[in-house]
Structure 1
């Protein structure tokens, strides 16, 4: 998908940059989960976050090349997070246009950081 510099892209860019900044906090539960799963949070961007009462569900782009879905239990901190890796091709299936733009912006940010 080609980026055109729209307001929506700019808003996504700001949001994704903030998500990457949050992942740089060494106390972040999500960062710890990513590192425990062998994924580098330095060049990671949170595409989606679903805050449930006792867990957080995250979809994270890693290095612009693959997706990691993470489930972090907020009620029972002793329970290990569930981390599942998937390829971009399978993630793109059925993805809305807006979320395709969000992904394209995240990939652009990831490529600019390397």
Structure 2
């Protein structure tokens, strides 16, 4: 599969850029950035692919340097709770992924190349 410059791709690229600016800019105070950095992950080329807010937790799927994914769970109600981070290889993530999510992953990987 390859990118074709569709409206969907352009919209998702803009969403990724805005999310990156919010979470991973140099002056960002994002809890997600803090959690990833404290676990030893580089956030210079990180992009949030998915965010799912729950009643007391936030779940993130983050593409790290275009090479692998981190699934992050952060408890909003208990700052003392240790966040959960699980690493996934891209080949494992791609298994059974819908076409729309495959396109989103390609857009994210392309954006990582552009900002590197």
Q: Secondary structure at the match of 2:44?
A: helix
Name the residue aligned to 2:2: 2
Number of residues paired by the alignment? 114
Instruction: Tell me how large the CA RMSD over aligned residues is.
Output: 0.9
Tell me the equivalent position of 1:19: 19
Deviation digits for residues 77-113 of structure 1 (CA, Å, limit 9, x no counterpart):
1111101111000000111100100100000000111
Runs of 5+ in structure 1 lacking a partner? none
| CA distance in structure 1 between the partners assigned to 2:2 and 2:70 by the alignment | 23
Could you tell me whether the CA contact under 8 Å between 2:22 and 2:28 is conserved in 1? no
Whole-angstrom CA distance in 1 between matches of 2:44 and 2:37: 10
Residue aligning to 1:62: 64
Show structure 2 runs of 5+ residues with no match.
Answer: none
TM-score between the two structures when normalised by the length of structure 1: 0.96
The more displaced of 65-74 and 19-28 is 19-28
* TM-score normalised by L of structure 2: 0.94
Matches within 5 A, 1:1-114: 1-23=1-23, 24=25, 25-114=27-116
For 1:36-75, what per-residue CA distance to the aligned partner results, in whole angstroms no more than 9, with x for missing partners?
A: 1111112111111110010000000011110000000000
